[in-house]
Structures are given as structure tokens and as C-alpha cells.
Chains A and B, each alone.
Chain A
Amino acid sequence: MTEELMLAGCLTNNAASQEALYSRFSPRMLGVCYRFAKNREDAEDMLQEGFIKVFSQIHQYRGEGALEGWIRRIVVHTCINVLKKNKKFSDSVDITFASGVGIREEGIPSIMQAKEVVECIRLLPIGYRTVLNLYAIEGYSHKEIGNMLDIEESTSRSQYTRAKAMLEDVLVKKKIMLKPRAKTPFFGATAIK
């Protein structure tokens, strides 16, 4: 079924078209939810809520941009809303919470490729993880992230910096990634050891 047919069917509340659309996009969207969620069950709940919104708001899709991007945006916002409802999340976004958090070597799963990267992301504290997901993978700006998470833009930046450092460390330890080269210091500046 083509995307146009699916869309037309979904606009008329046609169950077959809705299922086709769901079948096409749900695996990737569940992957998105999984990166934000605590576990698979939560991810599935997020996915369910997201797709209900997709089908109820499908008439708002104007064909500007890819359908997948539109669905993804709804799903990501649903994930954020679910996380924001969780009080622990808002606590953990606090920058002080995250400082000094370490990853235990034995907590790192030995799994492969895409899955292993995602699993490593999921090892991060939830505040770090969310900012990293939104900035590095979903492509939101720090300003947008600040608005979405009700935090300062600067908080988002610092969260991301720490998240990135921590994730790099994990990925290097797991040999998914080579150790990043040390950045060249600014002209005239001295690298602080």
C-alpha cells in the first residue's frame, strides 16, 4: 500500500489503512520509544499512546515533510510527556543529580551493533539520556529541548556535554568506538590536566 493510499484510508478511519501505517512505522518508532523509556513495557505504552495521537490527529498532517518525520515528532513528544509525568524524571534533570555519575563496567551489556549502541545509551541516567536523545539523535536544538523539558537551555547543554562524555567512555570501553582524539586547544590556551 502506498503512503498516499494509507493516508487517505486513515483520514476516513479505515482500519486496514491504519494497520498498514502502524505496521510500517511501528518497529522504528518503538526503537525511538525504547531509547527514552525505562523498559520495553514502558516503551510499548509510549508507542501505543503515540499512535493513538497519530491516528486522531492525522488530518493535521498537511503533507509538508515526510510522514515518518511527522509521526516521529508526535511519538517523541509523547515520550517526553510520559517522562515529564514521572516525578523522578524532573528530579534527575537537575544538573546536580548527574554530576559524578559513573557507569559500572559489569552493567554494560555485551550485545551487538545498533542494539548495543542503544543499550549503551539506555545505561545513562534518564536526564542525560533524554537530552542526548533529543539533541544528538532527534536533532532538536538546546533551546527547543529546554522548552520541552522545562529546563534552562544552559542546563540542556551541560547535560548533553556530560552525557556525551559518559557515553563515549562507555562506547570506548566496549570497543564500539575508538577513543576520540583530544581536541586541539584554542590558540594560545593551555589544556588543563
Chain B
Amino acid sequence: MERNLHTDDFEQLLREKSEEFRMYPSKRIWHSIYNNIHPGRKWPSVAMSITLITTLLLVGYLNTKNTGFYNTSTEKLTNGKANTPNHSPLVNSTTLTGQTGTEAPTSSIKNTPIGLALKNNLRQNAVSTNTPILTGIKAAGSPALEMAVANQPALSGKIIVSKDQPSVNVPLFTEPFQTVAKVGVIQKSTQRQPDNISHDQIVTISDEPAVLTQVQKIAINDILENVLPEDYGSSDRYRKIAVSIQNRSSYADNNLTATTQNTQDFVSTREREWIENYALYNRPASRKWANKLSWQMYATPSVVYRSLYNDYNFGTTLNATPPLAIASNGDINDDVIQKPSLGFEIGTGLQYSISKGIKITAGVQLNYTRYTSNAFQNTHPVATRLSMHDYKTNMTYEEYRTTPYSNKSGPEPIKLHNQTVQISLPIGLDFKLIGNENLQWNIGATIQPTYVPLGKSYLISSDRRYYIKETSMLNRWNLNAGVETFVSYKSSNGITYQLGPQFRTQLFSTNNKKIAVEEKLLTYGLKFGISKTLK
């Protein structure tokens, strides 16, 4: 490439500034690149990710369960005279809830509206009035910790303050800690108003190491880091925190190359700058599955065949009566005249690309299967028998039935439709054989756990002379397997179209295994599908 130098002042400025500009990609990008250039080493990272996610979920779940533990300890702290022998509750719940004069039970914070009232107050004020809720936190000497609460209609001037009395207020804040921390962040991004804090509005929180749990300490630190204004950096500890905040704010400044004369004109407030830089450099990581997950729907008109099979290993009849003489000793498939019929399949599912050429698919699918038996309708029902297997004894026995349908001859020809409605959950893999990003030839295979809610079967009698209508012996649960090959084309609008033949076979008999004649359905179809990548 001829690298020209289009140098006037303007282009020079553009080039210089653009060269200075750097952005730091998230780790995810490198992992994706690594997985792409080392496909064979992907699995360990996938396994690690699954393990990590499981661990995180477990930890999250356990932490959620532990909330009860903190509440319990809260109750102990509040109730137990041994723990707080001379301490009356510092914040009167009646004051907070506006029920002056009524002494609220302090025995159970969990059951009183104090926590909720405070939480709601904080939330409402933070959202609706945009007033700073917690305007400052400062230390009044170790181990006491003072939390200033100002500009709160519900709290201001009503909170009893006592520096001398170690309070039991920690439990009060146990529940809304997260809310408070978030409020702090909001406040930081709006405007700091550290002024209107009177001593009367200070709530003392006991900070005894033996009493405060680690979680509470972390939460308090969280609040401190988020809401402490510079004016309150009086003690060493909080001065450090203030400096830390200062550093955090100025981090982006230092990182953004040298200043120009016009810098001041651009920066209206430090907060604004901080928010802008924060938004730029701390964006949440994009979804891992983006561009890998696609949603698919498909339809398959199909032709349904059947395969009949009689297991002759079950020999001896258990009935007292001798078995009926069968019309023919040949293959059962030759004794019946059955024709394939049209069925269909519709489904939807998700596909996840685990590499460039392999996709995992899963979804839900509805199949309608049908084939036809050519028979004759008799005027009157005829008694016949149905061969059954007894799996306990490995013997064949016969059950008596009546039927109007004859297989061999009768006054009126009739077509009997054997049909099922199946709901399946296909899970499988698609492999790309050849092709580029837009046009591909793929093969796929699925295994399909299947439920059969509806169906109608016409079973052949023991002597193969009659058809017996039977619906109660349907196998409700079955397993199917499918293989397919298809050509897919990805259009410019991001939708992928696919077309190709599909073969689906039933792995277990349509009917109960007690029926001697096993029937398996074979479906040949032409599948048409569309899929769209999810972003």
C-alpha cells in the first residue's frame, strides 16, 4: 500500500490524535481468538467455564440461603440481653414509621417495618427527589462509626443520637446495605452536599469487631468508598479513602495523554468526566454467546413407512386354547397391504456454534405420522385373537378381541389410517462438510426423546386375517433418531436458509412391548429451515 502523507495541519492533528488513541479489549476477545486458532485446546477452557459457572451459581445460591443466618444473628443482637445488656434500640421504629407514641416491638427487626421503611425511604428519595440521602460518613474514633443521614424527611431530626451508647443499629442496616451502597453511587454521580449535616442527624453504629460480621464490614466499606465526600476526610483512614476516590477520578485524566490548551473548556465537572470515562472503559462484557447462538425453525413434509417385525423367540402359547392357524407362515410384511402416507414435522430450536464447523442443536418438535392399511369392512364384528408377549415367562399368549376389519377379504374395501402425534425434544449436532460462510453443505444427526400424546393403531391379529383397532396399547414414550444433510445459505440480511433430505427412525415399537408384532416407523422427509443469529 502506498502510505501517503496528506499533510496539512488538520490531517496532521487527526493522525496524531488517532495514533495516540488506545483502547483495551476485554479478555473475552483474546479467549475467542485463542479458541479459534487452537480449536483442539478449546475443550479444557469450556470445561473450566462450566465448572466456574456452576461454582458461582452454587456460591450465589448458598449466599442467598445465608441471608436467613444474618437475620437470625440480627435478632440475637437485638434481643439478647447478654449481647446488649444496657442498650436500648437507638433508632426508634415508631419514629421511622411515623407512628409516634406507639412502641414498636424491637425484638425482631425482621418482623418490624423498620428495615423496610428505611429501605423504601432511601429508595424513594433516591429515585424521585434525587436528593442525596447519605451525605457523609465519618469516624468518631475507633471502634465507633458514625453514619450521617441528612435531607431525609422521614429520618431528619427524628433519629435519636447517642455517641456514648453503643447502639444496635447495625442489624437495622443489615438488610438494606445493598440499597444504601447503590444510593451512594447515584449520589456520587449527581452532586455532593456535605453541608447540612447536624450532629442531631448522626446515627451511631456500633462497629465492634466481635459483633459485626465480615459481610457487614465489607458493606460499610462499600458505602464509605462510594459516598464519602472530600470534606469528610478528616481522619487518616477516611483521608486515605478520599485520596483513593480522588485518584480514581484522576486516573482517566492521566491515562488520556497530554493536555491541550482547550482542555478546561471541555471539562464541565469532574463527575461528568468520570462518568464518561467510566462508561467508556468499564462497559460490561458483551454476552459470551452473542453471534454463536441462533434460533431456528423448520418444517418437513415427509413420507412415513413402517417396518413390522415378529419375534419368534416367544414360542409357546400360554392359553389353554390352541393358537389360531395363521394365514401364512411368511414374512408378516408380505401378509399385509400397507401404503406409506404423508406426514409432517415442524419444530423450533436453538443452535450453538462450538466451533466454525460444529453446532449443537436442541429444540422442540411436533411430528404427525401416518400410514395406511388396505382392509375390508365387515358387516358384523368378528371374534379374533391378538398375540401378546409375556416378558416374565418369555412366552406368547393371546387375548380375545372383536373387530369389523378384515385383512384378506370382505364386502367393502376400506383404508385404515395408523397415525400418531409426537412431541420430541431433538438434541444433536450439525457438522459443516464444505463451504464458506455463506454457502455450506452440512450433515446433522439428532436423538429425539419423544412423547406420544395421541395415536391410533390397527394391529394385525394372530392369524393375520384381521385388523384390531387399538389405542390403549400405544407406547407413550419413545426414542427417535434422525439424520439429515442439507445445504444452507446465509443471506445478506443475516437469515440462514437450509434445505435437505432427512431420515428419521423410531428406535422402539409404536405399541406396547407386550404386543407381539413390533412396528417401527421410518420417515423420509425434505426439511426446510430458517435460522437467525441472536445478538
Contacts and interface: CB of A to CB of B under 8 A. Distances in A.
Interface of A: 13, 15, 18-19, 22, 26-28, 30-32, 34-35, 40-41, 43-45, 47-48, 51-52, 55-56, 69, 73, 85, 87, 109-118, 121, 132, 135-137, 139-141, 144, 164, 167-168, 171, 174-177, 180
B33 A174 contact: no
B53 interface: no
14 contacts: A13-B38, A18-B37, A27-B23, A28-B19, A31-B22, A44-B28, A45-B291, A51-B29, A69-B3, A85-B492, A137-B18, A168-B10, A175-B262, A177-B13
Interface of A: prevailing SS: helix
A28 B36 CA distance: 21
A141 B253 CA distance: 35
Interface stretch (B157-165, B169-177, B263-271, B376-384): B263-271
Contacts of A180: 9-10
B268 A110 contact: yes
B361 to A, nearest CB: 24
Interface string B241-261: 000000000000100111110
B15 interface: yes
3 shortest interchain CB distances as A-B pairs: A117-B17, A27-B22, A114-B20
A26, A73, A136, A168 pick with most chain B CB within 10 angstroms:
A136
B29 A111 contact: no
Interface stretch (B272-280, B393-401, B423-431, B446-454): B272-280
Contact of B267 (A47, A112, A140, A168): A112
Contact of B2 (A31, A41, A48, A141): A141
Contact of A164 (B10, B19, B21, B259): B10
B14 interface: yes
A68 B31 CA distance: 21
Contacts of B15: 136-137
Chain B: interface size category: 35 or more
A112 B280 CA distance: 12
A139 B3 contact: yes
Interface in B441-483: none
Nearest to B2: A141
A121 B21 CA distance: 12
A156 B52 CA distance: 50
Contacts of A139: 1-6
A89 to B, nearest CB: 12
A21 to B, nearest CB: 11
B370 to A, nearest CB: 44
Contacts of B18: 31-32, 35, 114, 117-118, 121, 137
Nearest to B259: A113
A87 B382 CA distance: 71
B29 A47 contact: yes
Given A44-B26, A55-B37, A176-B260, A118 B1 contact: no
Contact of A26 (B29, B36, B268, B276): B29
B283 interface: yes
B412 interface: no
A114 B6 contact: no
A113 B258 contact: yes
Given A136-B15, A139-B3, A141-B4, A113 B267 contact: no
B268 A30 contact: no
Given A31-B21, A45-B291, A48-B33, A117 B13 contact: yes
Contacts of B20: 113-114
B492 A34 contact: no
Contacts of B29: 26, 44, 47-48, 51
Nearest to B261: A175
Interface in B22-50: 22-26, 28-30, 32-34, 36-38, 41
Nearest to A77: B1
Nearest to A33: B23
Nearest to A51: B33
A30 B24 contact: yes
B286 interface: yes
Nearest to A180: B10
A31 B14 CA distance: 13
A47 B256 contact: no
Contacts of B259: 112-113
Nearest to B269: A110
A58 B41 CA distance: 20
B6 A135 contact: yes
A150 B10 CA distance: 27
Contacts of B253: 112
B208 interface: no
Contact of A110 (B3, B5, B38, B272): B272
Contact of B14 (A28, A85, A136): A136
B231 interface: no
A85 B6 CA distance: 28
A144 B17 contact: no
Given A112-B259, A176-B262, 13 more contacts: A22-B33, A27-B22, A41-B290, A44-B28, A51-B29, A55-B33, A73-B1, A109-B276, A111-B266, A113-B263, A118-B21, A139-B6, A140-B2
Contacts of B277: 111
